[in-house]
Amino acid sequence: MRAVIVAIGVAFLVSLFCTPIAIKVFTRLKAGQPIRTDGPQMHQGKKGTPTMGGVVFILATVIAYVAGHLALTTLPDAQIAQVEPTITALVLLGLMVFAGAVGFIDDFLKVRKRHSGGLSARGKLLGQILVGAVFGVIALYFPSTMTDASGAVTNTETVGSTTLSFIRDIPALDVSKIGAVIIFIFVVMAATNGVNLTDGLDGLATGASVMVLGAYAVIAFWQYRHWCADPAYTANPNNYCYTVRDPLEIALIAGAAAGACVGFLWWNTSPARIFMGDTGALGLGGLIAGMAMSTRTILLLPIIGGLFVIITMSVVIQIISFKTTGKRVFRMSPLQHHFELAGWSEVNIVVRFWIIAGIGVAIALGLFYSDFLANMG
């Protein structure tokens, strides 16, 4: 727990104090966010606000991960099985950094062209597929070789699983390694686009991501405390344990990312002095997809990220309706813009959507804990 708290604190402080520096730098570089002319007219006042702020909390998360590992070296020997960096960290941080890099290219092109159209839809899609495929393969093909004091291997798990999972793996739904990689690519695409579509109002995606990442930190730390690779815990055969790889790493990174987002939210809340841009949105989406895979909760993700699902579906419904009937269901999509045009203030929409995000997280954590109680009973 100490390492996780250190990571959260470091990430928060780095993000909080480095974001103003980023604001000055991006302003000097004239890296302002172009605003769509066909969007809500009240957004035109945001034109020129610095973008690409996601660089700050991505960097803060990586720095906090290193700080968390330094804190691990001070723990008693029985608790330092994960002091060395792991493949799990490579996958999770790699997803965040490289998905963020795809978003950075998109943001850079928008700024350079002074137009809201950056990287083409095909280019962005190919980038997401490539990132998902590379880290999906690493997650499925590199098992752990964790050993105990006697040298015996105690954990041979991979970061991802070949079976679909809800609150834990479902053995009957084995899809093979290739199938699991394909599914993970889809999850990466869904999560990155979900966060990106949600990032339309000041602080909306940042606040929702804090809740989702906080939930994954809780889930992962709970799995660490009830871990099948912990001989002290499994000494009692009646204890229910989780078959995952490196849960403390997952909790540390999820906590660090959540802390970094809170620090960034200080400057991103209405009226935003900086936007996360596609850099941040795609980076967060990639990390959230990795969290679902590494905690073996793939099918729980639509509940934990319920707000992202709702907003994404509003776009899908709008497109299908317009192409099939020529009529729009919403005044404008994504959904938050519908309520803007209906007369809701930006702050009201953000707070109410945060409540929806919180409800999804609460339901997901309730299902997770209920499963634990049922199996312990």
Select from 333, 215, 199 the least CA-distant residue to 268.
Answer: 199
At 48-70, the pLDDT tens digits run 789 999 999 999 999 999 999 88
127 backbone dihedrals φ, ψ, rounded to 5°: -65, -45
Instruction: Work out the average pLDDT over 265-273.
Output: 94
Select from 339, 343, 345 the least CA-distant residue to 310.
Answer: 339
The structural domains of the chain, with segments of one domain joined by +, span 1-376
pLDDT attached to residue 77? 43
- Please state, in angstroms and rounded to a whole number, the distance separating the CA atoms of residues 332 and 340: 9
At 144-184, the pLDDT tens digits run 876 555 555 567 899 999 999 999 999 999 999 999 999 99
58 backbone dihedrals φ, ψ, rounded to 5°: -70, -45
At 186-198, the pLDDT tens digits run 999 999 999 999 9
Mean pLDDT, the chain, rounded, equals 91
Question: Is 329's pLDDT higher than 70?
Answer: yes
Q: Name the one residue in this structure whose structure tokens are 């066909």.
A: 38
Q: Is 230 annotated as a binding residue?
A: no
Question: Is 101's pLDDT higher than 70?
Answer: yes
Look up residue 120 and give its two tokens.
């083409």
Specify the pTM. Answer: 0.93
Select from 229, 289, 217 the least CA-distant residue to 64.
Answer: 217
Question: Is 80's pLDDT higher than 50?
Answer: no
**In the 8-state DSSP scheme, what is residue 42?**
G
Q: Is 278 annotated as a binding residue?
A: yes
pLDDT attached to residue 84? 74
